[in-house]
Amino acid sequence: MRLAFINPAIGRFLRGTFLACLALLGSVAYARTCTPDEKAEADKKLWLNKRDTTASIERHLPWGHPEPIAANTNLRTLAQRDYVIGYDSELRVPVWTAHRLNAKSLGKSERVDCFRRDPRIDAPAASLPSDYKEPVFDQGHLTPNGDMSTGLVPVINSFVMSNMAPQFCQFNRGVWQILEALIRVWVKDKGTLYVVTGSIFDHDGNGQPDASADVPRMKSTNGKTRVAVPSHFFKIVLHQQEDGTVEALAFLMPHDQTDVAGDEAIQYLERNLKSIEDIEAVAGVKLFPEVAGRYPPKATGLWAFEGVVPRSLVDDRCRATADLPR
């Protein structure tokens, strides 16, 4: 794979506006919950041997495995066939995830909720659904279940808690899922995309990762404060073109209760475009070490999404959480 990078270019106008609209509107339906047998089968598929672990990392991270800028003994890699997680056992959230997204494989399975502890992580370090039993935050996917619709097992395995971080419901159901849906529109045009997503902890605003001890934790109704709350989230989308060059969009968004939709959401996303170097600095991670120093400059606009209207899923009950203590 050639590793030359260029400035992001405006993509070709999308063919099939109808399919594009479905990509943005399809997450409205309510999902069923996985059965015990489905959960057990999916849990088995989380465990990979050494050969398959290497193959997964090479598939989803073709520009190198992310490397922490400073030593971090709390960080471990969890690889399954459909995506890879960089999980921090002290913060109890993924600090990055990565997946290869292919247009042809999407849409084979609907959402099936299956929130559960990742069985690969020992209990003291694992986040749990009970940690999220409180009124403000959603269990926010980093790798979205909609990108795992290649089959039932990939969908179910997007719901392991090692793929979740606390997200304000306004953020998760608003601009975050709008961006996720746009990516599924873009992949229809581009064929294959590489998506790296992550949690940022810069609550003091100095542009560098906070010390773990200084990061605020979410308080569950059981009184425990185990899971760290991110200050920002990032998402980087890469597309390798036919000549081997790569175009990229990199987003760094404050994690707050901003509630936007439609044109306002598009403008919000464009305002939060950053360079990959900016994101690496505040994340404390070299995300693409094999091409470090050869990244494109910050993008100035989104790729084309002709005929698609971004839709927020934020409702009045979600908006009411803005006044709750946290």
- Considering the domain boundaries, does residue 6 fall inside one? no
- Domain count for the chain, please give it: 1
Q: Which two tokens stand for residue 311?
A: 């839709």
Of 191, 258, 182, the closest CA to residue 25 belongs to 182
Q: Which two tokens stand for residue 114?
A: 């299956």
> What share of the chain has pLDDT > 90, as a percent?
84
Of 260, 103, 242, the closest CA to residue 186 belongs to 103
The reported pLDDT for the residue numbered 10 is 34
Q: Which two tokens stand for residue 235?
A: 């998402």
- Considering the domain boundaries, does residue 143 fall inside one? yes
Rounded CA Rg of the chain: 18
Q: Residue length, the chain?
A: 326
Residue listed under structure tokens 């922490």: 68
**CA 16 – CA 125 distance, rounded (Å):** 45
**CA 166 – CA 321 distance, rounded (Å):** 14
Entry pTM: 0.91
The residues near 37 (Cβ < 8 Å, ≥ 6 apart) are: none
- Is a pLDDT exceeding 70 seen at residue 18? no
- Considering the domain boundaries, does residue 10 fall inside one? no
pLDDT in tens, 130-139: 999 999 999 9
Q: Which two tokens stand for residue 300?
A: 């100035």
The per-residue pLDDT of the chain, averaged, comes to 91
The residues near 74 (Cβ < 8 Å, ≥ 6 apart) are: 88, 89, 90, 91, 212
How confident is residue 231, by pLDDT bands cut at 50, 70 and 90?
A: very high
- Considering the domain boundaries, does residue 55 fall inside one? yes
- Considering the domain boundaries, does residue 8 fall inside one? no
The residues near 46 (Cβ < 8 Å, ≥ 6 apart) are: 78, 80, 118, 119, 120, 157, 160
pLDDT in tens, 113-131: 999 999 999 999 999 999 9
CB 296 within 8 A of CB 7: yes
Average of per-residue pLDDT across 265-270: 97
pLDDT in tens, 68-100: 999 999 999 999 999 999 999 999 999 999 999
- Is a pLDDT exceeding 60 seen at residue 2? no
- Considering the domain boundaries, does residue 103 fall inside one? yes
**Helix pair angle (177-190, 17-25), 10° resolution:** 150
CB 31 within 8 A of CB 321: no
Helices (H), 86-176: 152-156, 169-171
CATH no. for residue 316? 3.40.570.10
How confident is residue 19, by pLDDT bands cut at 50, 70 and 90?
A: very low
- Considering the domain boundaries, does residue 121 fall inside one? yes
pLDDT in tens, 24-55: 443 445 789 999 999 999 999 999 999 999 99
For residue 257, the enclosing domain spans 17-323
Question: Can you spell out the DSSP letters for 168-191?
Answer: EHHHIIIIIHHHHHHHHHHHHHHS
The reported pLDDT for the residue numbered 29 is 52
- Considering the domain boundaries, does residue 7 fall inside one? no
